[in-house]
Every structure is written in structure tokens, then in C-alpha cells.
């Protein structure tokens, strides 16, 4: 990075300041170290602005053509990695404009007509976050497909369902995977909603009050792919709801990723052995040769801290700001950049893990009947067939569980005589509901774990994926 002297910055600022900034002030004020990531969006917005100025007769066509070609040259220089970013020029906007002036001369000074860095940065940042929403949507779609593939493979594979991490009732592997499909589906919906709301253009709001030049904000909005210009100039330059909403949606998504990562960590342990992680997403130990560590899942689990922290940090930045723009808002970008980077990495890693994951069907089934997982089926049978009130059926079932636990056996291993010693109305028919396969097959209520219901939900999601709304 090449720093230009303070006098260069003074030229950009104009005649208001006679002395150059103190080194500490320059260091705290400069944002080029991170906002250079906005270079493509900054140049995109400037090209749209220049074209509109020419169309409105505010600048000449020749000047607009020179600006357009000069900006393309700047873009190519940045993308080639040889652009001399300067902290003395503070930010991406002034770095681009300064280089543009070196390339095309006087016409560069006309580019900033009828705009301010306030609406410029609001536009650049909004464009960047919108692009990130699109990338996140693509990532979520890939992850949903991976989870759906797991569900299709194991729609009727029985496994224990848990509450409090204690065996509760048998479910199916497909049903468990479809729970995450639903979670990630909501994340997808939130990202799409956030994108829709943010798709308004701040450009043309200028510093805070609009401009007296006869600009066409609808034209620049259309050129940049926005649905419309923002309706209030104060709001346009001071709003960061779009960034807050992206971070909020990202944080919820990260929570879902973390919950699944936690389960993969538990399930891949020697104590569970429910799943086998691929070598591509595992690591070994430097001292214990037998180890296969689920490091990718553990790192995903940790990402929530950074993403949630970014959301909290930006909420704190914005909470006390009066209208319109304040320099505090310079602290918005690093938080969003970091959260976006980590969310995309976590999405890609989880998609890879699920795609490569092997669910151990035999181990899942062996564990499905543990912990008296069909006790609720017994209680339901007593209500349905023996006519007991549920609370009485619950008490009878609890007594039978205690009896089986004392003998070191499971409920289906109790004899009919043992069961009838607790309640004489129990018949041999009760054994038809005590097997785990019978249990899951009976859960046919909408959204239940019965394989028929799981396959119906898989079919619904396949229809969603095939629809125009998915694209």
C-alpha cells in the first residue's frame, strides 16, 4: 500500500482545512483498509450516476464517456491487484476518484455532481449486502438439497428421538433430517424477504436533503437493479436496517447450523456411532493415532459467536444515532464483512459434511428402542384400547417401565402376565405397538415421523425446488 501525502487529502477536501490530519486522526478516520471490498459496487454506482448526469444534461456526453472508460480502467487495476490504495485518501470513494482524475483529468471532478459520500456509501454498501444475500440464498439452497438427500435415503430408518438429550420416542432418520430442511427453509425465506426490503436505492439523496440538480433517481435505481429509489433522503443516507436485517437473518441461520453441528459432533463419537464423518471434513490427532475429530462441525459451532457478535455490535452502533449520517456508521462494514464471510464458509462446510455423511443404519436402529422409547405408545394403547384416561394410562405405563427397569429388560420383553398384574385389561395385542418400527409407522399425523409422512414432506420440498419460486 502506498500512502500519499496529507496535502493530497487536503486537495480532495477543498479549502476548508489548511493543515494535514494528525497521524492518529488519519488512522482512526481511514476505512480504506476494509471498505476497498466495495470497489466493484462503488464503480458500478458511479457509472450509473455519470450516465444519469449526462442523460439529464447535467454533464456532457463526452465527460460521461471519459468517466465510464476511466472507471473501467480503475476497476481492472484493482482486480489485477496493483492498485495503490492510500490511507491519506481515507476510503474507497476518494481512492477511486483520485485515480480517475489521474487517468482522465478534469472530467473526473464532475462525477461527484449531485451526490455525496453519504448516499454513495449507502448505495455501495446496500449493493454489497444485496449481493451477499444472493450468495447466501444459493448456499442455503445447496444445503437444503444435501439435507433432503439424506432424508430421502433414510425415510424409514428408525432412530431414537430425544428430549433433554434423553431417549424420548422413536423417530426416523428422514424425519430428523427434514427438521433441518424446515429450519434452513425459513432461513432461505428470511434472506429473500430481507433482500426484497433492501432493494431500494439511496443514490441521489446526496448528503441528507436531496439536491437541486434535475437528477433522475428512478433511472439510477433501475440501472443498479433496485426496485425504486428510497422515498426520504434523510432515511436514505442514515438507514442501516438492511445490514441489521442481514445480520439478524445470518445469526438465526448460524444458530441452526450450530445445532446441527452439535448433533454431528455427538453422533460421530464412539459412544453414539450414529454417523461416520468423511475424511474430507475430519482431522486426526498429533498424539492419538486412533482419533478422527469432527473439526469442521466444531468450527461451524463456534461461528455463531462471531456472527451473533457482529449483529450485536452493529445494533449498538446504530442505537443512539440522530439523523442523518454520523461517522459511527463507518463501523458497520467490518462487522457485516466478517459475518458474511463466516456464514458462507459455514454453509459450504455443512453442505459438504452432509453430502459426504454416512448414517449408520444398524446402530441407529439398535439405539432406537433404548430408554423405553415406546412407553408413550403403550400409554396411547391403554387409552385407545383399554379406555383408560390418559393420566391413568401414564401411571400404569410408568409402573411397567419401573418393573422392566428393575429386571434389566425393555418393555417388549415383559410378559403378558407381568403387564396384567398391573392392569388386567391389557391384552396380547399390546405387543403390536411396542416395536420401534410399529411405533414410527403409527405416527401418521401431519408432520409426524411415520415414513409415509416423511416421504410426503420430501415430495413437497421436491415440488418447491422444481417451482419457479425456487430459482
**pLDDT tens digits for range 352-377:** 999 999 999 999 999 987 767 778 88
* Average of per-residue pLDDT values in the chain: 90
pLDDT of 5 = 45
Beta bridge partners of 167: 162
109-125: per-residue pLDDT in tens? Answer: 999 999 999 999 999 99
Report pLDDT for 414. 86
1 pLDDT more than 50 = no
Which pTM does this prediction carry?
A: 0.88
Degrees to nearest 5, angle at CA 101 with 97 and 105: 150
DSSP β-bridge partners for residue 358: 276
Give the C-alpha separation, 200 to 229, whole Å: 5
Is 44:224 a contact under the CB 8 Å cutoff?
A: yes
Report, in angstroms and rounded to the nearest whole number, the Rg of the chain calculated over CA atoms.
31
Q: What is the pLDDT of residue 28?
A: 84
What pLDDT shows up at residue 240?
96
Residue 286 in this model has a pLDDT that exceeds 80: no
**Residue at grid coordinates 476505512:** 31
Angle at alpha carbon of residue 445, lines to 439 and 449, rounded to 5°: 45
Q: How confident is the model at residue 6 (pLDDT cuts 50, 70, 90)?
A: very low
Segment 173-201 shows an average pLDDT of 98
Please report the pLDDT score of residue 135 as a whole number. 98
Give the pLDDT score at 20.
61
Mean pLDDT of the region 46-69: 97
Q: What is the band of 290 on the pLDDT scale with cuts at 50, 70, 90?
A: low
Kindly report, residue by residue over 398-419, the tens digit of the pLDDT.
Answer: 999 898 888 888 888 888 989 8
pLDDT on residue 144: 98
In this predicted structure, the answer to whether residue 349 has a pLDDT above a threshold of 80 is: yes
Output the pLDDT for position 66: 97
The stretch 151-180 carries a mean pLDDT of 93
Confidence grade of residue 261 (pLDDT, cut at 50, 70, 90)? very high
Q: What angle do CA 190, 359, 272 make, to 5 degrees?
A: 100
What is the mean predicted confidence (pLDDT) over 343-357?
95
CA dihedral 173, 177, 179, 180 (to 10 degrees): 160
Judged by average pLDDT, the poorest of 209-218, 245-254, 392-401 is 392-401
Residues annotated catalytic, as ranges? 164, 285
208 or 429: which carries more pLDDT confidence?
A: 208
Which domains does the chain show, CATH number per domain? Answer: 24-110 (1.10.275.10), 117-153+171-212+231-367 (1.20.200.10), 372-467 (1.10.40.30)
Count how many Cα atoms sit within 13 Å of the Cα of residue 175 in the half-sphere of its side chain: 25
Summarised one tens digit per residue, pLDDT across range 59-89 is: 999 999 999 999 999 999 999 998 999 988 9
Task: Please check the confidence at residue 285 and state whether its pLDDT lies above 70.
Answer: no
Amino acid at each position: 500500500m502506498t500512502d500519499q501525502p496529507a496535502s493530497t487529502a487536503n486537495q480532495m477536501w477543498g479549502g476548508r482545512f489548511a493543515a494535514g490530519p494528525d497521524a492518529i486522526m488519519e488512522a482512526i478516520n481511514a476505512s480504506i483498509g476494509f471498505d476497498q471490498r466495495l470497489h466493484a459496487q462503488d464503480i458500478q454506482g458511479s457509472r450509473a450516476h455519470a450516465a444519469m448526469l449526462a442523460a439529464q444534461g447535467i454533464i456532457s456526453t463526452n465527460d460521461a464517456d471519459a468517466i465510464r472508460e476511466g472507471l473501467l480502467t480503475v476497476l481492472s487495476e484493482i482486480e489485477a491487484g496493483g492498485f495503490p490504495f492510500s490511507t491519506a485518501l481515507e476510503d474507497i470513494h476518494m481512492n477511486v476518484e483520485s485515480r480517475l482524475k489521474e487517468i482522465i483529468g478534469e472530467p473526473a471532478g464532475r462525477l461527484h455532481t449531485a451526490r455525496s459520500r453519504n448516499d454513495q456509501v449507502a448505495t455501495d454498501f446496500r449493493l454489497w449486502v444485496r449481493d451477499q444475500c444472493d450468495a447466501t440464498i444459493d448456499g442455503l439452497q445447496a444445503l437444503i438439497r444435501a439435507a433432503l438427500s439424506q432424508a430421502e435415503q433414510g425415510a424409514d430408518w428408525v432412530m431414537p428421538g430425544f428430549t433433554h438429550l434423553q431417549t424420548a420416542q422413536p423417530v426416523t432418520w428422514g424425519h430428523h433430517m427434514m427438521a433441518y430442511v424446515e429450519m434452513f427453509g425459513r432461513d432461505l425465506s428470511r434472506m429473500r424477504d430481507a433482500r426484497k426490503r433492501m432493494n431500494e436505492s439511496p443514490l441521489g439523496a446526496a448528503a441528507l436533503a436531496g439536491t437541486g440538480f434535475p437528477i433522475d433517481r428512478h433511472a439510477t435505481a433501475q440501472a443498479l437493479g433496485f426496485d425504486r429509489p428510497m422515498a426520504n433522503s434523510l432515511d436514505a443516507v442514515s438507514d442501516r436496517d438492511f445490514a441489521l436485517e442481514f445480520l439478524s437473518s445470518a445469526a438465526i441461520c448460524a444458530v441452526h447450523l450450530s445445532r446441527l453441528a452439535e448433533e454431528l459432533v455427538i453422533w460421530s463419537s464412539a459412544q453414539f456411532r450414529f454417523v461416520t464423518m468423511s475424511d474430507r471434513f475430519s482431522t486426526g490427532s498429533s498424539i492419538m493415532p486412533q482419533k478422527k475429530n469432527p473439526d469442521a462441525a466444531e468450527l461451524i459451532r463456534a461461528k455463531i459467536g462471531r456472527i451473533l457478535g457482529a449483529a450485536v455490535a452493529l445494533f449498538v452502533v446504530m442505537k443512539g444515532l440522530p439523523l442523518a449520517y454520523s461517522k459511527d456508521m463507518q463501523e458497520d462494514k467490518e462487522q457485516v464483512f466478517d459475518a458474511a464471510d463466516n456464514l458462507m464458509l459455514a454453509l459450504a462446510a455443512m453442505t459438504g459434511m452432509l453430502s459426504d455423511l454416512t448414517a449408520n443404519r444398524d446402530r441407529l436402529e439398535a439405539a432406537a428402542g433404548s430408554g423405553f422409547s415406546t412407553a408413550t405408545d403403550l400409554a396411547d394403547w391403554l387409552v385407545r384400547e383399554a379406555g383408560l384416561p390418559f393420566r391413568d394410562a401414564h401411571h400404569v405405563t410408568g409402573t411397567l417401565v419401573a418393573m422392566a427397569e428393575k429386571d434389566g429388560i425393555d418393555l417388549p420383553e415383559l410378559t403378558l402376565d407381568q403387564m396384567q398384574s398391573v392392569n388386567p385389561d391389557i391384552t396380547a395385542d399390546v405387543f403390536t405397538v411396542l416395536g420401534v418400527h410399529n411405533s414410527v409407522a403409527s405416527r401418521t399425523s401431519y408432520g409426524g415421523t411415520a415414513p409415509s409422512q416423511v416421504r410426503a414432506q420430501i415430495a413437497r420440498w421436491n415440488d418447491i425446488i422444481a417451482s419457479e419460486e425456487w430459482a
